[in-house]
Amino acid sequence: MEKIIRLSIENTTKIRQVEDSFCELYSHDKNNGAFEFEITKGTLTNENVVALFKFLRSGSYWKTNGTVEDNKIKFNFDTSLITQNEEVVCYIYLDKEEHNSDIFRFKFKVNLSEIDKASQLPVKERFFANSMIVDRVDVLTKEDFDKAIKEIEKGSKFLT
């Protein structure tokens, strides 16, 4: 299922605020975050579209090019850039040989998917030992024990 965030743009000289799209994309939405903007006043011809994304919490930027089709601006978002939960402000620019325009800015949220968070954490394993359920991280294996003994023996040479 494709996720497309759709908004309307009115190219104006009036004071503009950052429009909240009330949308969010997740890190697990691989190749699945797209934006589509319909121009309500005016028509687009052969403009080059540039989208600049500012990640507010991390302070990083990402720039990409878009396309113009049927008076709509379209571009994709690279969800591999999502490393934490934060807001993103996107600035849209139209460049032509004769003139350039800063036409729109909006914000949306990006979130780290739970499945991606889980891949960064150790898997919690449990097993039965002497009729008790024990977490795997609380168990000292023979290899760990032997390694610790060797370290102690190494250190004791300096003490005598």
CATH number at residue 24: 2.60.40.10
pLDDT greater at residue 58 or residue 15: 58
Element (H, E) at 145: helix 142-159
CA dist., res. 119 & res. 142, Å (int): 27
Count structural domains, the chain.
2
Under 8 Å between Cβ of 89 and 105: yes
Query: What domain range is 136 assigned to?
Result: 122-159
DSSP string, 54-82: EETTT--EEEEEEEEETTEEEEEE-GGG-
Can you tell me the distance from the alpha carbon of 75 to that of 6, in angstroms, rounded to the nearest whole number?
11
Q: How far apart are CA 81 and CA 65, in angstroms?
A: 16
- For residue 138, the SS3 value is helix
Are 84 and 107 in a shared domain? Answer: yes
Task: Give the tokens for residue 43.
Answer: 């028509």
Residues 33 and 79 in one domain: yes
Are 51 and 92 spatial neighbours (Cβ–Cβ below 8 Å)?
yes
Top-ranked range on mean pLDDT: pick from 4-8, 85-89, 100-104, 123-127: 85-89
- Encoded tokens for 150: 């060797």
Specify whether 99 is located in the same domain as 24. yes
For residue 69, the model assigns a pLDDT of 86
Report the pLDDT value the prediction gives residue 137, as an integer from 0 to 100: 61
Give the helix/strand (H/E) hosting 116: helix 114-119
110-143 per-position pLDDT tens digit: 998 888 777 766 655 666 666 666 666 666 778 8
Residues 58-82 pLDDT 10s: 999 999 999 888 888 999 888 888 8
Q: Could you tell me what percent of the chain has a pLDDT over 90?
A: 18
Whether 94 and 145 map to the same domain: the answer is no
Is 109 a residue whose pLDDT tops 90?
A: yes
| One domain for residues 111 and 32 | yes
Q: Is there a single domain that holds both residue 89 and residue 134?
A: no
